[in-house]
Amino acid sequence: METDPIRMNLGCGDTPLEGYINVDSDGCVIAGVVHDDAMTLSRLLRLKGRVDEILAVHLIEHLPRPFSIPPNVQDALRLWHEFLRPGGLLVLECPDFESVVTEYAETHNGRLKSVIFGMHRHAGDVHQWGYGRDDLSKLVRDAGFTVTRVCDGKPRGRDGVKSVRLEGVKQHVPTPE
């Protein structure tokens, strides 16, 4: 029996996507968005090992930086790895830190500071760390994924700030005979 794919859109904010379980920690009420309270999280735990895709667009930079006091970004990536089924897809998109910093150094465009540090509209709207293609790839590989694609993401905001998009796959683990 064919079932619909289980796809999660983590950190969706006010942009829920059709066909995804849209999850966000922001306290505002948005139709179609699951908020990560204790009851919701217990229901989501039933999906461990069954999710086909995890999409996290402009979320990873909001998580505590690598090698900081847990829970941090490595803990999140390991948890996402547990939720994906073998062959499941991880899609990350975040500001291309190296491009943004280079552009700021050349232009002194003050609006780029919000890309570097976050908008600070609420408690979770702070960028904890910045990633370029290489360090994001290493972080994802270290969490057990195979990186299959790294490319430009969708430009964001009025200034068309560059983003990096990474796709990784949870590999099938052969069962011993």
Quote the CA–CA distance of 155 and 77 in Å, as a whole number.
24
How many domains does the structure of the chain reveal? 1
Quote the CA–CA distance of 65 and 173 in Å, as a whole number.
29
CATH number, domain at 29? 3.40.50.150
Q: Is residue 177 part of a domain?
A: no
Q: Is residue 158 part of a domain?
A: yes
Q: What percent of the chain is predicted at pLDDT more than 90?
A: 55
What range does the domain containing 143 cover?
7-170
Write out pLDDT tens, residues 23-80: 887 655 555 566 655 556 677 788 899 999 999 999 999 998 888 887 889 999 999 9
Quote the CA–CA distance of 82 and 70 in Å, as a whole number.
17
Q: Is residue 57 part of a domain?
A: yes
104's CB contacts (< 8 A; 6+ apart) are 112, 113, 116
Q: Is residue 1 part of a domain?
A: no
Mean per-residue pLDDT of the chain: 86
Average pLDDT over residues 96-123: 90
